[in-house]
Amino acid sequence: MNSFFTAINCMDGRVQLPVIKYIQEKFNALYVDMITEPGPILYLSEHTEHQLASSIFYRVDLSISNHNPKGIVITGHYDCIGNPTSEDEQIIQIRKSKAILEYRYPELPIYGLWLDDNFNVHEVG
């Protein structure tokens, strides 16, 4: 069961293991290709022409073409130093990022995740 998932996650050390564990348990994937930037939802929702957005897409493309992931997650979290804005604003950014990823990668399911102040993971509908 060499199943992969692709995660676009913050670089913050507090969010790595919760996201990996959530993906392994919820989606039954063994490995997570982890693509990290500080506050990636900021770039995917509002600055898609920024070089960091291009870099994220480059790495998602590599993950998809080589590891055939079962899906992609995009995350935001409490107390993000790369994206210091409110939870409400970050939820909007997650939804926008999810829509952009759905447009770019229509063959894969995309999931938005929010990590709260206890770093518990919640799916953003």
**Quick one: CA torsion of 86, 89, 91, 97, rounded to 10 degrees?**
-130
Task: Give the nearest distance from C-beta 64 to Zn ion in angstroms.
Answer: 24
- The contact pattern for Zn ion, residues 77-96, with x = CB under 5 A and - = no contact, is ---x-x--------------
Q: Which stretch binds Zn ion (CB under 5 A): 45-53, 58-66, 75-83, 111-119?
A: 75-83
- Give the strand pairing for 4-10 and 72-77: parallel
| Residue 80 or 108 having the CB closest to Zn ion | 80
37 binds Zn ion (CB under 5 A): no
- Please give the size of the binding site for Zn ion, defined by CB under 5 A: 4
Classified as helix, coil or strand, 50 is coil
Q: How far is the CB of 57 from Zn ion (least distance, A)?
A: 19
Q: Which of 8, 10, 41, 56 binds Zn ion (CB under 5 A)?
A: 10
CB contact at 8 A, 58 and 64:
no
Torsion-angle region of 39 (φ positive above 0: left; ψ -120 to 50: alpha; else: beta): left
